[in-house]
Amino acid sequence: MSAYIVSREHIQYLISSMEMMEGRIVFCHNGKIKEYETPEEKTQLGQMLWDTNIVSVKTRYWDETIQELPSGESDKRYKFKYRFVYFIPNPVQVIKSAQCYEYQCCEYIGWEDSEAKAFTDALIHVAISKLPGYREAEWGCPKDFLKTNKEVI
């Protein structure tokens, strides 16, 4: 599958998912805490996420104009404006959507150290912690592991 520019709704979904699951948007990037509290700050976050995606796709399709790049968005101005959306995120869908976004952004050399990657890593981490059974699971090796797997040793 080729890289493409994700839709405005995709960016909104990622931001809203973090907000709904954590109650706030906070993550670490380059040793600094990044916190997005106001609608204006969340708009900036969304624009940064979208711009990162555009840079990556432009890296892949270097000879195309921005209007010619593959896109899931009909409005090719690519201006993001945050809006509050209340919903209950499905952690599996959040993980899959974040991984899709990552796939669309990993074409350019700065991805690994980008704030966008730090955000998606944090979002995936939060979503994993919300999976059914996660809180109840034992930390470390389960106590009954050797009882059920005696033949391993």
Q: Is residue 3 part of a domain?
A: no
Q: Which domain holds residue 36?
A: 8-132
Neighbouring-strand partners of residue 86: none
Per-residue pLDDT for 42 more than 90? yes
pLDDT for 144 equals 84
Domain count, the chain: 1
Per-residue pLDDT for 151 more than 80? no
- The closest of 48, 54, 49 to 98, measured between CA atoms, is 49
Query: What are the tens digits of pLDDT across the range 93-122?
Result: 999 999 999 999 999 999 999 999 999 999
List of residues 6+ apart from 85 with CB closer than 8 A: 12, 16
Q: Report the C-alpha gap between 145 and 153 in whole angstroms.
A: 11
- The closest of 97, 111, 108 to 11, measured between CA atoms, is 97
Query: What are the tens digits of pLDDT across the range 44-80?
Result: 999 999 999 999 999 999 999 999 999 988 888 999 9
Q: Show the DSSP H helices in 1-144 as ranges.
A: 8-22, 39-60, 91-105, 115-129
Q: Is residue 152 part of a domain?
A: no
Cα 33 versus chain centre, distance: 17
Q: What is the mean pLDDT of the chain?
A: 94
Q: Report the C-alpha gap between 99 and 122 in whole angstroms.
A: 12
Q: Is residue 150 part of a domain?
A: no
